[in-house]
Amino acid sequence: MRTMIRVMVVDDSAVVRQVVQEVLRRHPDIRVIGTASDPIFALQHMQREWPDVILLDVEMPRMDGVTFLRQIMEQRPTPTVICSSLTEQGAQITLDALSAGAAAIITKPALGVSDFLRGHEDELASAIRAAAAANPRRLVNKLVAPKLSADAVLSAPTGTRSLGRTTERFVALGVSTGGTQALEFVLPALPRTAPGLAIVQHMPERFTRSFAERLNNLCEIEVKEAATGDRILPGRALIAPGGRHMLVKRNGAQYCVEVVDGPLVSRHRPSVDVLFRSAAKSAGVNALGIIMTGMGDDGARGLKEMFDAGARTAAQDEASCVVYGMPREAVRHGGVKEVLSLDRIPELIVRYGH
């Protein structure tokens, strides 16, 4: 008797989700355990019941499919079939999806997708069966680059507790999966008098600028995509550009950021570990480090370096996280002074500025 294959369908089109369930229902060895309009909703469902195969679109709100695939393959490798109109033959997104660990790719048309899915039902079912039989760990081990530490971008801090206090202080904040919603809660709650923030949100290039602009329209403080030389000022939040690292630099009693190229650190660029290490080296006691919702462990070591340098540190609690991965690892590494819920983080930031 063939084992039942549990499938999670992630696509922002309600029509696609409905038709996929309809056609797969005719295959007794395949069961759709859930559908979701974006990866955040999918992950919340998957934490209750993990699928054998993920059927994944690429272009979706809040997180694109390739970013989600990379995170899944790093944390819990799961066979994934990409089904998207963006994955045309030879397209860069196809290479990105394969490099991230996709087991198969099905190209659906931009128009007439319902008829296409019904007409290619056997192809879809066969791709799911083949993916379920694959070993995703072997695939990802071949394709994922070595996991580098912040050493690949800047040296470890030494003697940072001797850094003197400055008149300016700032907040270094790192966040990943679930972070867009978390930041949309935290930043609009801050007054113009709040301390400056340097923020790494795991997000691909081309997305961070529009995300910063959206936040800027929601907030009393200024929010912008960071550029080299930008000062960290009260009432301003700087978002690291996707695809580049962001470091904090000290200039007298003032702080600014430097945006640099470099390898993936903790398999991310921008990396929270890079931001936190730079804050430990340049600011020490003059910084507050906060790590929030996200998969993996990026930021855990950097927050410990901030803690050792005399900085105040905090982590979002499990109950309010979409994914309690990065905060849990930061606690495990011993770099977290306090753990608090999402709704208390704006208050912490405001109090720190006074």
Among the options 38, 57, 64, 202, which is catalytic?
Answer: 202
H/E element, 289:
strand 287-291
Among the options 64, 273, 298, 317, which is catalytic?
Answer: 298
- How does DSSP classify residue 191? -
Round to whole Å and give the CA distance between 96 and 211: 22
Q: Is 30 left (phi over 0), alpha (psi -120 to 50) or beta?
A: beta
CA quadruple 318, 322, 323, 328: dihedral positive or negative?
negative
Round to whole Å and give the CA distance between 60 and 13: 9
For 161-202, give the DSSP string. GGPPP-S--EEEEEE-TTHHHHHHHHGGG--TTSPEEEEEE-
| Beta partners for residue 30, in sequence order | 5
Among the options 11, 52, 64, 176, which is catalytic?
Answer: 176
Round to whole Å and give the CA distance between 281 and 288: 13
Active site residue 27: no
CA quadruple 336, 340, 341, 346: dihedral positive or negative?
negative
H/E element, 259:
strand 254-260
Round to whole Å and give the CA distance between 235 and 193: 6
Round to whole Å and give the CA distance between 147 and 100: 14
Active site residue 202: yes
Angle, to 10 degrees, between the axis of helix 92-100 and the axis of helix 65-75?
A: 20
Under 8 Å between Cβ of 122 and 24:
no
Active site residue 12: no
Cis preceding linkage at 270, omega within 30: yes
Task: Give catalytic residues, as residue numbers.
Answer: 176, 202, 298
